[in-house]
């Protein structure tokens, strides 16, 4: 289990707002939730992009016990609702893939009115993730948290 990137992130975010991985990447906590931890996505090209990581190391949604699954989905929808209220996107995209990191996590991508390729998945629009300062990340997290129950 120790080789799982997200297990390491969850461990690193216990009692911390930011975890820096051995490679130097910063993982910024948005909020601790009952069945998950929400973190700010690295690529803020899609403003507000958030990842909701299950507390339990599991690969598939159906691997979670029913009660935990219901809570995990409620956590995810609550974050999506907060993103909607914070940023008023045109559409929300929900992606649960796990092909690279096989630990349950939802990618929540707000799709904004200035989206350059609004009808296609985010990964089909080549772009460089914008540089985000600590202050900008903190402002984005604060905007999301204002609307999180």
**Interface residues toward Zn ion, by CB under 5 A:** 4, 6-7, 57, 103
Q: Which residues contact 1 (CB under 8 A, 6 or more apart)?
A: 7, 57
Concatenated DSSP letters for 25-92? Answer: -EEEEEEE-SSEEEEE-S-TTSTT-EEEEESS--SSGGGS-HHHHHHHHHHHHHHHHHHHHHH--SEE
Closest separation between CB of residue 103 and Zn ion, Å? Answer: 3
- Looking at beta carbons only, is 34 or 129 nearer to Zn ion? 34
- Report the residue closest to Zn ion, judged by CB: 4
* Residue 53 phi, psi dihedral angles, 5° rounding: -95, 125
Closest separation between CB of residue 54 and Zn ion, Å? Answer: 8
Closest separation between CB of residue 1 and Zn ion, Å? Answer: 6
- Looking at beta carbons only, is 4 or 61 nearer to Zn ion? 4
- Looking at beta carbons only, is 5 or 92 nearer to Zn ion? 5
- Looking at beta carbons only, is 57 or 111 nearer to Zn ion? 57
Closest separation between CB of residue 4 and Zn ion, Å? Answer: 3
């Amino acid at each position: 289990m120790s080789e799982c990137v997200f297990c390491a992130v969850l461990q690193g975010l216990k009692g911390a707002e930011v975890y820096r991985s051995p490679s130097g990447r910063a993982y910024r906590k948005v909020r601790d939730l009952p069945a998950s931890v929400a973190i700010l996505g690295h690529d803020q090209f899609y403003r507000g992009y958030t990842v909701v990581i299950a507390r339990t190391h599991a690969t598939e949604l159906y691997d979670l016990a029913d009660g935990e699954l219901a809570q995990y989905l409620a956590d995810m929808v609550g974050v999506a609702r907060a993103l909607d209220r914070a940023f008023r996107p045109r559409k929300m995209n929900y992606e649960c893939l796990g092909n690279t990191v096989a630990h349950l996590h939802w990618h929540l991508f707000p799709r904004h009115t200035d989206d350059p390729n609004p009808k296609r998945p985010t990964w089909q629009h080549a772009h460089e993730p914008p540089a985000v300062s600590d202050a900008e990340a903190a402002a984005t997290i604060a905007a999301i948290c204002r609307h999180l129950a």
